Structure 1
Amino acid sequence: MKIYLRILVVLILTSCTSNVKLSNSKLATKNYEIKFDSINLFDKSRNRNIPVALYLPKTNEKIENQKVVILSHCYNQNKLGTNKYYSFLTENLASKGYFVISIQNELPTDELLPTSGDLKILRKPIWERGCENIMFTINEFKKTKPELDYKHLILIGHSNGGDITMLFAQKYPNLVNKIISLDNRRVEFPRTSQPKIYSLRSSDQIADEGVLPTIEEQEKFKIKIVKLKNTIHNDMMDNATKKQKAEMNKYIMEFLNE
């Protein structure tokens, strides 16, 4: 009888331990509900509006060392609201606890993006303006949200927004922890280990010569580049299929969790 009682106690303890582990596992992989907001920042020094979309985890709990992601959208003929074309990505990041800021870099009153000539020269003022938008946004949120983790800042950009992101990393490498480019094609990747650099490349577009690091440079600086065999350049946003979105989010979360 004593032997049976001992076996029963061991089984109960084993069951309790298993339940505790499962509970902890669920907690670690918990997804937050999403809260969306939008605000208009104003840079007096440039007399410029900077519309911003915010994607936030909805919780009453304080998220310690909450990391900030700043997203820069592709070029879309200066149409307002283009910064909201990446909800598949921004909402997923917010659900994981990130504080996501998506900047509207182009305004209807801005000059159109040059499409001919020496694009690296003609487009640089537009990329510079985007960098100024990012810097102003960072400084404004440091005032209003000082509790956020700005030491591990993450920048993500698609296409022309990716060029802005890469230029920002060149100019201010010590301000950024990780850079993720979604198929930028004009601005060269910084050849550096800081910030950490990642990129998803489309199946149909080729970057200008010298933009992408060589295999040797990728190994030296630990730059990670992934080619998406089934996703074209223009599908790296909300018009992507469910499968394409899942693949992009998978790689991006892998980059951020390294």
Structure 2
Amino acid sequence: MYKKIYCFLLCSVVFLNCSKPCIAQSSSTNVTSFKVLEDSLMLFDKNRDRQIPVALYFPQTTKKLKNQPLVIVSHGYWQNKGGSNKAYTSIAKKLATHGYFVASIQHELPNDDLIPTTGIPQIVRRPFWERGSDNILFVLNELKKTQSYLDFKHVVLIGHSNGGDMSILFAHKHPDLVDKVISLDSRRMPFPRTAQPKLYSLRSSDQVADEGVLPSIEEQKKYGITIIKLNNTIHNDMDDNANEAQRKEINDYIMRFLK
């Protein structure tokens, strides 16, 4: 099975590099916009005996984009329902139109245990964040084998809610492997108090992070961490549930963070 997956990845590389171009030019911004292609992978981590579904979004080009930027997206908690890695298409497609290669991971499988609803979140949810961090690392290493043209020196993680906690944990464990982390209202895992990787967070209007999770104003200034509250967006509307105005605001901030 692993060989089949590896062959599929290789085919994806050929497909990505041999597609016909379709580039639109915006008259208002004069910015080149790529047509977006979508694909999917079913990876398998034999060391953990675990499948990892991945949705891919990337620009349609005639040749490799040298050092093409890579973004890995991690979804919020979906109670093990399928399709969670395709719940952030607004963000993924926006990134792909600007030349980014986006890998969106499904962290939950139907037979996984549900996250406990009682107990101290930082304790009872930690195994789920650890699993998510391991998933991110595995996907990153697999992409290095097959999409070697990507820019692995400046990897970006974007995570919503529980997926944001996973991404923040990854920054703690592997600070040398990620350049930027964008948290969409993660509430439990404390942010690293460090200048590297660069940390950004969009906060909802209706939910508050646990004490000690977000850096203080002084720490934000010291380490260059950016925290922005979205006054018109609730926690559950930071994925594809967002309306047009909310999507634009979220995507505009993300693109600003990535510059």
Give TM-score, length-normalised by structure 1: 0.89
Letter in 2 for 1:49: Q
Residue from 40, 58, 74 that aligns with 1:56: 58
Q: How does 1:167-246 map to 2 (within 5 A)?
A: 167-246=169-248
**Partner Cα separation in structure 1 for residue 180 and residue 141 of structure 2:** 18
Identity, % of aligned positions? 60
- The CA deviation at 1:239 is 1.1
**Partner Cα separation in structure 2 for residue 44 and residue 143 of structure 1:** 16
Q: Which residue of 2 aligns with 1:131?
A: 133
Q: Does 1:30 align with 2:32?
A: yes
**Partner Cα separation in structure 2 for residue 45 and residue 195 of structure 1:** 28
Q: Which residue of 1 aligns with 2:119?
A: 117
Could you report, residue by residue, the CA deviation over 1:216-256 in whole angstroms, capped at 9, with x for unpaired residues? 00000000011000000000011111000000000000000
Q: Which residue of 2 aligns with 1:247?
A: 249
**Partner Cα separation in structure 1 for residue 139 and residue 255 of structure 2:** 24
The runs of 4+ residues in structure 1 deviating greater than 4 Å are 25-28
- Flag the structure with higher helix content: 1
Residue from 69, 76, 79 that aligns with 1:77: 79
Could you report, residue by residue, the CA deviation over 1:40-66 in whole angstroms, capped at 9, with x for unpaired residues? 000000100000000010111321210
Q: Which structure has the larger Rg? A: 1
CA 1:168 to 1:106, structure 2 compared with 1: closer, same or farther past 3 Å? same
8 Å contact kept, 2:204–2:235: yes
- Secondary structure of 2:32's counterpart equals coil
8 Å contact kept, 2:65–2:149: no
Give TM-score, length-normalised by structure 2: 0.88
Q: Does 1:153 align with 2:155?
A: yes
Letter in 1 for 2:63: E
Q: Structure 2: any 5+ residue segments left out of the alignment?
A: 1-24
Letter in 2 for 1:113: I
Q: How does 1:5-44 map to 2 (within 5 A)?
A: 29-44=31-46
- The CA deviation at 1:158 is 0.0
**Partner Cα separation in structure 1 for residue 51 and residue 104 of structure 2:** 14
- Secondary structure of 2:33's counterpart equals coil
- The CA deviation at 1:176 is 0.5
**Partner Cα separation in structure 2 for residue 119 and residue 253 of structure 1:** 31
Could you report, residue by residue, the CA deviation over 1:125-181 in whole angstroms, capped at 9, with x for unpaired residues? 110000110000011110011111100000000000000000000001111000000
Q: Structure 1: any 5+ residue segments left out of the alignment?
A: 1-22
**Partner Cα separation in structure 1 for residue 185 and residue 53 of structure 2:** 24
Q: Which residue of 2 aligns with 1:142?
A: 144
Q: Which residue of 2 aligns with 1:47?
A: 49
Q: After the TM superposition, which of the residue ranges 26-35 and 85-94 deviates more from structure 2?
A: 26-35
